[in-house]
Amino acid sequence: MQTTAEVSGSGLDLIFKYIDEQQNEFVQELKEWVAIPSDSSDPQAWDEIVRMLNVTADKIKTLGGNVELADLGSQKMPNGQSVHLPPVILAELKKDPKKPTLCIYGHVDVQPAKKEDGWTTDPYTLTEINGNLYGRGASDNKGPVLAWLHAVEAYQALKQEIPVNIKFIIEGMEEAGSNGLDTLTEQRNMTFFSDVDYIVISDNIWISKKPALTYGTRGNCYFFVEVEGQKQDMHSGVFGGSIHEAMTDLIAVLDSLVDSSGHILIPAINKAVAPLTEEEKKRYQGIEFDLEAHKKDCGVTKFLFDTKEEILQHRWRYPSLSIHGIEGAFFETGTKTVIPRKVIGKFSIRQVPNMDPSEVEKQVTEYLHKVFAERNSPNQLKVTMPISAKPWVADVSDPQFVAGRRAVQTVFGVDPDLICEGSTIPIARNFQDVTGKSIMMLPIGGADDGEHSQNEKMSRSNYIQGTKLFAAFFYELSQLPHI
Amino acid sequence: MQTTAEVSGSGLDLIFKYIDEQQNEFVQELKEWVAIPSDSSDPQAWDEIVRMLNVTADKIKTLGGNVELADLGSQKMPNGQSVHLPPVILAELKKDPKKPTLCIYGHVDVQPAKKEDGWTTDPYTLTEINGNLYGRGASDNKGPVLAWLHAVEAYQALKQEIPVNIKFIIEGMEEAGSNGLDTLTEQRNMTFFSDVDYIVISDNIWISKKPALTYGTRGNCYFFVEVEGQKQDMHSGVFGGSIHEAMTDLIAVLDSLVDSSGHILIPAINKAVAPLTEEEKKRYQGIEFDLEAHKKDCGVTKFLFDTKEEILQHRWRYPSLSIHGIEGAFFETGTKTVIPRKVIGKFSIRQVPNMDPSEVEKQVTEYLHKVFAERNSPNQLKVTMPISAKPWVADVSDPQFVAGRRAVQTVFGVDPDLICEGSTIPIARNFQDVTGKSIMMLPIGGADDGEHSQNEKMSRSNYIQGTKLFAAFFYELSQLPHI
C-alpha cells in the first residue's frame, strides 16, 4: 500500500463523494446483513448469531483488521440446560502509536420479528419505501455497525490514511442482556482496552430530525413484590368475605408507590437526585422537540408536565416509577372467579445520578413492609430486586463530545442536540466503571425508527449521512489535542 | 308389571339393603361415566358431552323413562364461529296424577382435568383409595346424578312403587355457564314444568361431615374496569415519568374498592343487605363447622373474622368483593419494562338479598368514575358488568325442607345443618324466577370433595348413603300434605 496523504477537509469531501457514490452497494450490504435472522431471544436460534458474527468478522478482515472471536463460555438456562454463548468480536485495524485509539461498540443480534406481528414487509428482507429502509436490525444495530465499517472502507478505497487507530467490540447478545460482556470487559481491561482513548456507541436514536450526541442513560431497579396468601387458589364465591386476599393486599401496596402526578411516594427516594444545574437547565431549552407532535405520536391529550423542558427532564434526569403487571393473578380475557394464592407485582424505578441501587432497594423494601404492616394482614410479603442497573452520564465537556459536535456540523451543518436516553443501556456504564475511558453515544438512527417495534427502519439518508458522520468523526478525533 | 305395595318404613329398609348389596355395581357404573371426558370448557370436545348425554338418556330409558333431547340451537363463539350446543335431557317416569311430582336437576359435563395438573390418579379412571372414589365428575355431578337414578332403580328392582312422579332435567353445559338452559326453562315453563311440585338440585357439598340442606346461594356481579392510555404499549425507560400510565390509574381505582378488613368501600352498597334476623342468627349457631380445622385446610393463620358464625355469615349472607386479576398488563414470569396501553381490572361482588344487580352496577360505575375523576388523568375509564347473577334463597319452612330433614334423619340419624353456598348457582334462581316452584338443594358430596380441583373425589360412603337419602326423600315427599 502506498503512503496516503493525511486526511484534511478536502480529503473528507472526497470521502463523502465516495460514500454517496457507493450508497447502493452499502444498502445492498445492509440487505445481506438484515437477511440473517440473528434474533438473540431464542437460544435455539443462536446459530444464526454465530453466522452473523462470522460475516461481520470477515468484513472486518477484508478491511485489514485482526479479529479475535472471544469465547464467553456457557450459560445456564432457566430449564437447567447449559447453552454455549455466541462469541464477541474483538478486532483492531493497523495501529500507529502516534494516533489516538477509538473503540467502536456495536451489536449484530436483533429483537424478534415475525411478519404476522404486524409488519408491512418481510422483516428479514430489507425493503426501501419512500426513502426508508425497512427491516429488523436496520436501525438497531446492523445499520450503524455497517456505517462504521463503510466509513473505514471509504478511507481505504481512496487510499487516505485513517487518522485514528480503530478497535471494534461487537457482540451478538445485546438484545438478550449482553450476557458475559461485563466479565469479558473486566478480563480484557488491561489488554484490549489498555490503549483505548475513546469508546463510542451508536446504538440509540435522535429525538427529533436534528442530529444528537447522547451523554446519559437512566439506570433501572426492577422490583418483585410478592404477597402469598392461602394454600391454593380459591373460589371467590365460596371463600370471598372470609379470607385476607393476597390480591387486595398487593393492589394496596402497589397503590402506595406513585401518585397520579407521577411523583414517587417512597420517602427519601428523591433526595439523592442530583440537583438541576443552571447550565443543564439551559441545555434543555435549546433541544429541538415538538411537544404537540410528540403528543400526537403517543396518542395522548396530555403529558404529566406541560413544557418540553419538564417532559425531557422527567424522561432523562429524574427517576420514574412504572407498574408493569402482576404474575399469578387472572390475566386472560373473559371472567374467572378466583382468589389467587400468590401474586407478584412488578414495577421498576428508573435510576438517575446520584441514586444508589442498593440504597433504593433498602428504601423500597422498608417502605413496602411498612405499608403492608399497616394492613394487619396475615399474608406474607416479600420484596426482591432482580435487576439493578446504574445510570450512565458523561461529562459533556469531554473532548470526544467536541469531536462529535464538529463532525455533526461538518456533515449536517447544525449543532447537535445534547440528549439522554430515558432507557437503560448498561454497557455504557459498565465500560465507564471498568475502563474509566471517555464514552460517548453518537446516534445516527432517526427518532421514528421503531427499534424493537414492527416496521423497524432506518432512512437511506440517515444511513448514508451517518456513514459520513462517522468518517468525519475519525478526522475530528484526530484533530483534538492528543490525550 | 305387577302392582307393587305402597312404600313404607319397612319398604325403605329393603331398599337400603338392596342399595348396600348393589354398591359395587353402582361404583362400576360411576366408573363408566367418569371415563367419558365430558369437559364442557372446550367446544372442540363437545362430542364427548353428547356421548355422555346419550349414555344418561339410555340409562333413564332402561328405568322406563320417556326421554326428550331438547335442542338448544347454536352459540356464537368469541372467534365468530357458530357451534351447536349439546342438548338437554328432559325426561319423565310413569306418571300418576295422585302423586306429587319431583323434578331432579343435574349435569353430566365436568370441569377440565389433566393428570399433569397434579392429579395423583388418572382423572378419567375412577380409582378407589381408602374409601374415596377419585375421578373428575365423581362429586360434581355424575355421582349425584347416578345416585338419583340408582334410587329409582332400587324401588323398581324391589317392585316397590315409587311414591312420587319423577322428572329429570339434565344438562351438559353447567360448567360452561348452562348456556341456553334459561331460555329452555322459559319455553317449557307451561309444559314440562307445569305439573312439577318440587325441584331438587344436588350439585353442591356439605360444609362438614354432617349432612346438610341448602337454602341459598349468593349471586355475582362481575366487573371489568378498563383504563386506556396512550396509542400503544410503551417502553418504561423511554416514556416513564412523562406519561399518565393506565396501570397506575387502574391500581388506584382497584385499591378504592375494599379495605383490609374486607369491607366494601362503595357507598350505599351495603344498605340493601337484608338485616340478620334473630331466627337466622340462631340457625348459624347450630351449624357444625370447625374453624380451626378450616384454617388448617386453607393454610391460613387468621380469617377476616374470629367466630364461626361471622365467617359463615360473610361467606353466605353478606356481600364480598374479590379482585381477580388484570388483563393487558405483563403477567409472565421474569421482567418486562412495559407501560401497558390498555389494562382491564377484573373484580366481582357476591350478591345477597336484597341487592339488585342493576343498582349495584350503577353504584359501582358511579363510584369508580368519581375516584378516577379525582386523579385528573387524561386516560379513559370504562366500567362494564359482563356477569350479573342474582342470589337465590329458599324459605326453610317450605315442606320440601321438611321432607329433606326427615330423609336425612332416616338415613344418617341426625338433623341436617341448614346451609348456604357462597358461590353462585344461577340455575336455582332461574328455576325460582321462571317456574315459581319449591326449590331445595340436597347435597350428598363431602366438604372435602375438591370439586373443580385436582383429585376430585366422592367417598364410597357418601355415594351409597346419598343414594339411600334420595330413596328416602321420595318417600318423605309423598308423606307431606299434598300441595
Nearest to B40 by CA among B135, B171, B138: B171
> Residue B482: is its pLDDT beyond 70?
no
Rounded to 10 degrees, the C-alpha dihedral B293/B294/B299/B302 comes to: -100
Query: What are A277's strand-pairing partners?
Result: none
A248/B242 touch (CB, cutoff 8 Å), yes or no: no
- Does A109 qualify as catalytic in the annotation? yes
Residue numbers in the known binding site of B for Mn(2+) are 107, 140, 175, 203, 452
Domain topology for B221-274+317-388: Alpha-Beta Plaits (3.30.70)
pLDDT tens column, B424-439: 989 999 999 999 999 9
Q: How confident is the model at residue B6 (pLDDT cuts 50, 70, 90)?
A: very low
Residue B479 is inside which H or E element, if any? helix B460-479
DSSP-H helix ranges across A204-327: 236-239, 246-255, 278-286, 291-298, 308-316
Q: Sort out which chain B residues have CB atoms less than 8 A from A225's CB and list them.
A: none
Would you tell me how many other CB atoms lie within 10 Å of the CB of residue B376? 10
Among A302, A327, A377, select the one facing B332 at the smallest CB separation.
Answer: A327
Was A452 annotated as part of a binding site?
Answer: yes
Q: Sort out which chain B residues have CB atoms less than 8 A from A248's CB and list them.
A: 258, 260, 322-323
Q: How confident is the model at residue B5 (pLDDT cuts 50, 70, 90)?
A: very low
- For the segment A434-444, the average pLDDT, to the nearest whole number, is 97
B335/A387 touch (CB, cutoff 8 Å), yes or no: yes
- For the segment A181-209, the average pLDDT, to the nearest whole number, is 96
A243/B304 touch (CB, cutoff 8 Å), yes or no: yes
Burial of A50 (0-12, 13-18, 19+ CB in 10 A): middle
b/e code B169-201 from CB counts within 10 Å (16+ = b): bbbbbbbbebbbbbebbeebbeebbeebbbbbb
Among B231, B297, B325, select the one facing A299 at the smallest CB separation.
Answer: B231
Task: Give me the sign of the Cα torsion angle B317, B321, B324, B327.
Answer: positive
Give me chain B's average pLDDT, please: 94
Give me chain A's average pLDDT, please: 94
Distance (Å, rounded) from C-alpha B144 to C-alpha B443?
A: 8
Helix (H, G, I), strand (E, B) or coil at B355: coil
Task: Give me the sign of the Cα torsion angle A115, A117, A121, A126.
Answer: negative
Inter-residue contact A18 to A154 (CB < 8 Å): yes
A240/B321 touch (CB, cutoff 8 Å), yes or no: yes
Tell me the backbone φ, ψ of residue B452, rounded to 5 degrees.
75, -10
Among A230, A320, A421, select the one facing B300 at the smallest CB separation.
Answer: A230
pLDDT tens column, A59-84: 999 999 999 999 999 988 777 888 89
Helix (H, G, I), strand (E, B) or coil at A50: helix
Residue-level pLDDT at A10? 62
Inter-residue contact B324 to B350 (CB < 8 Å): no
Q: Sort out which chain A residues have CB atoms less than 8 A from B203's CB and list them.
A: none
Provide the residue count of chain B.
483
Q: Sort out which chain A residues have CB atoms less than 8 A from B386's CB and list them.
A: 335
B237/A376 touch (CB, cutoff 8 Å), yes or no: no
Choice between A32 and A177, residue whose per-residue pLDDT is larger:
A32
Which has the minimum average pLDDT: A370-374, A406-410, B332-336?
A: B332-336
How far does CA B306 lie from the centroid of its chain? 27
Burial of B428 (0-12, 13-18, 19+ CB in 10 A): buried
C-alpha grid cell for residue A202? 451508536
Nearest to A336 by CA among B377, B175, B294: B175
Distance of residue A147 Cα from the nearest chain B Cα, in angstroms? 25
Choice between B250 and B77, residue whose per-residue pLDDT is larger:
B250
Grid coordinates 360448567 are at which residue? B175
Inter-residue contact A135 to A456 (CB < 8 Å): yes
Distance of residue B387 Cα from the nearest chain A Cα, in angstroms? 8
A9-217+391-479 and A219-274+317-386 have identical folds: no
B247/A338 touch (CB, cutoff 8 Å), yes or no: no
Choice between B403 and B337, residue whose per-residue pLDDT is larger:
B403
Distance of residue B134 Cα from the nearest chain A Cα, in angstroms? 19
Among A311, A329, A348, select the one facing B324 at the smallest CB separation.
Answer: A329
Q: Sort out which chain B residues have CB atoms less than 8 A from A339's CB and list them.
A: 322, 324
Q: How confident is the model at residue B118 (pLDDT cuts 50, 70, 90)?
A: confident
Residue-level pLDDT at B192? 98
Distance (Å, rounded) from C-alpha A241 to C-alpha B317?
A: 10
- For the segment B109-124, the average pLDDT, to the nearest whole number, is 92
Helix (H, G, I), strand (E, B) or coil at B228: strand
Q: How confident is the model at residue B58 (pLDDT cuts 50, 70, 90)?
A: very high
Secondary structure letter of residue B420 according to DSSP = E
- In the set A39, A153, A171, A174, the catalytic residue is A174
Residue A9 is inside which H or E element, if any? helix A9-21
Distance of residue A456 Cα from the nearest chain B Cα, in angstroms? 15
Closest chain B residue by Cα to residue A177: B335
Helix (H, G, I), strand (E, B) or coil at A394: coil
Q: Sort out which chain B residues have CB atoms less than 8 A from A298's CB and list them.
A: 230-231, 234, 239, 243
Distance of residue B209 Cα from the nearest chain A Cα, in angstroms? 17
Q: Sort out which chain A residues have CB atoms less than 8 A from B392's CB and list them.
A: none
Inter-residue contact A23 to A460 (CB < 8 Å): yes
Distance of residue A340 Cα from the nearest chain B Cα, in angstroms? 7
- Best probe of the B interface among A324, A327, A392, by most B CBs < 10 A, is A324
Residue-level pLDDT at A2? 33
Q: How confident is the model at residue B302 (pLDDT cuts 50, 70, 90)?
A: very high
Provide the residue count of chain A.
483
Distance (Å, rounded) from C-alpha A321 to C-alpha A345?
A: 13
Tell me the backbone φ, ψ of residue A323, rounded to 5 degrees.
-100, 120
Q: How confident is the model at residue B228 (pLDDT cuts 50, 70, 90)?
A: very high
Q: What is the DSSP string of B96-160?
A: -TTS-EEEEEEE--B----GGGT-SS-TTS-EEETTEEESTTTTTTHHHHHHHHHHHHHHHHTTP
Residue numbers in the known binding site of B are 107, 140, 175, 203, 452
B422/A238 touch (CB, cutoff 8 Å), yes or no: yes
pLDDT tens column, A316-330: 999 999 999 999 999
C-alpha grid cell for residue B331? 403477567
Distance (Å, rounded) from C-alpha B417 to C-alpha B346?
A: 34
B325/A326 touch (CB, cutoff 8 Å), yes or no: yes
| Catalytic residue positions of B, numbered | 109, 174
Among A241, A327, A378, select the one facing B314 at the smallest CB separation.
Answer: A241
Angle at B236 (CA atoms; ends B232, B238), nearest 5 degrees:
90
Inter-residue contact A360 to A269 (CB < 8 Å): yes
Residue-level pLDDT at A8? 52
Pairing of strands B457-459, A88-92: unpaired
Which has the minimum average pLDDT: A240-244, A293-297, A348-352?
A: A293-297
- Kindly list the distances between the CA atom of residue B301 and the CA atoms of A227, A330, A379, B294, B335, in Å, as whole numbers in the listed order: 15, 25, 9, 10, 31
pLDDT tens column, B131-154: 999 999 999 999 999 999 999 999
How far does CA A444 lie from the centroid of its chain? 13
Would you tell me how many other CB atoms lie within 10 Å of the CB of residue B365? 18
Secondary structure letter of residue B422 according to DSSP = S
- In the set A39, A92, A109, A245, the catalytic residue is A109
Among A242, A252, A320, select the one facing B311 at the smallest CB separation.
Answer: A242
Burial of A138 (0-12, 13-18, 19+ CB in 10 A): buried
Question: CA Rg, chain A, in Å?
Answer: 25
Closest chain A residue by Cα to residue B264: A241
Choice between A1 and B181, residue whose per-residue pLDDT is larger:
B181
Distance (Å, rounded) from C-alpha B424 to C-alpha A87?
A: 59
> Residue B3: is its pLDDT beyond 70?
no
Distance (Å, rounded) from C-alpha A298 to C-alpha A313?
A: 18
CB proximity list for B82: less than 8 A, separation 6 or greater = B74, B75, B76
B324/A340 touch (CB, cutoff 8 Å), yes or no: yes
Among B235, B299, B315, select the one facing A230 at the smallest CB separation.
Answer: B299
> Residue A116: is its pLDDT beyond 50?
yes
Residue-level pLDDT at B232? 87
Number of H helices, E strands in chain A: 14, 20
> Residue B379: is its pLDDT beyond 50?
yes
> Residue A483: is its pLDDT beyond 60?
no
Cis geometry, peptide bond prior to residue A79 (ω within 30 degrees of 0): no
The amino acid present at B254, given as its one-letter code, is L
Residue B82 is inside which H or E element, if any? strand B82-84
Closest chain B residue by Cα to residue A229: B300
Closest chain B residue by Cα to residue A222: B335
Among A236, A298, A321, select the one facing B324 at the smallest CB separation.
Answer: A236
Distance (Å, rounded) from C-alpha B192 to C-alpha B431?
A: 12
Distance (Å, rounded) from C-alpha B258 to C-alpha B269?
A: 12
Closest chain B residue by Cα to residue A380: B300
A300/B244 touch (CB, cutoff 8 Å), yes or no: yes
Q: How confident is the model at residue B2 (pLDDT cuts 50, 70, 90)?
A: very low
Nearest to A428 by CA among A207, A187, A185, A143: A185
For every residue of A112-158, which 3-state class applies, written as one string?
Answer: CCCHHHCCCCCCCCCEEECCEEECCCCCCCHHHHHHHHHHHHHHHHC
Inter-residue contact A408 to A414 (CB < 8 Å): yes
Distance of residue B322 Cα from the nearest chain A Cα, in angstroms? 6
Domain range A219-274+317-386, CATH class? alpha beta
Distance of residue B302 Cα from the nearest chain A Cα, in angstroms? 6
Distance (Å, rounded) from C-alpha B122 to C-alpha B455?
A: 9
Residue-level pLDDT at B79? 79
Q: How confident is the model at residue B454 (pLDDT cuts 50, 70, 90)?
A: confident
Q: How confident is the model at residue A179 (pLDDT cuts 50, 70, 90)?
A: confident
> Residue B9: is its pLDDT beyond 90?
no
Structural domain boundaries of chain A? 9-217+391-479, 219-274+317-386
Distance of residue B341 Cα from the nearest chain A Cα, in angstroms? 10
B322/A240 touch (CB, cutoff 8 Å), yes or no: yes
Was A456 annotated as part of a binding site?
Answer: no
The amino acid present at B175, given as its one-letter code, is E
Q: How confident is the model at residue B1 (pLDDT cuts 50, 70, 90)?
A: very low
The amino acid present at B377, given as its one-letter code, is S
Q: Sort out which chain A residues have CB atoms less than 8 A from B329's CB and list them.
A: 323-326, 331
Q: Sort out which chain A residues have CB atoms less than 8 A from B422's CB and list them.
A: 237-241
Closest chain A residue by Cα to residue B346: A335
Q: Sort out which chain A residues have CB atoms less than 8 A from B233's CB and list them.
A: none
Would you tell me how many other CB atoms lie within 10 Å of the CB of residue A323? 28
Closest chain B residue by Cα to residue A311: B242
Q: How confident is the model at residue B42 (pLDDT cuts 50, 70, 90)?
A: confident
Among B254, B387, B422, select the one facing A251 at the smallest CB separation.
Answer: B254
Candidate CATH numbers 3.40.630.10, 2.30.130.40, 1.10.287.3510, 1.20.200.10; the one for domain A9-217+391-479: 3.40.630.10
Choice between A77 and B274, residue whose per-residue pLDDT is larger:
B274
> Residue B372: is its pLDDT beyond 60?
yes
Was A314 annotated as part of a binding site?
Answer: no
Helix (H, G, I), strand (E, B) or coil at B22: coil
Q: Sort out which chain B residues have CB atoms less than 8 A from A333's CB and list them.
A: 78, 327
Residue-level pLDDT at A460? 98
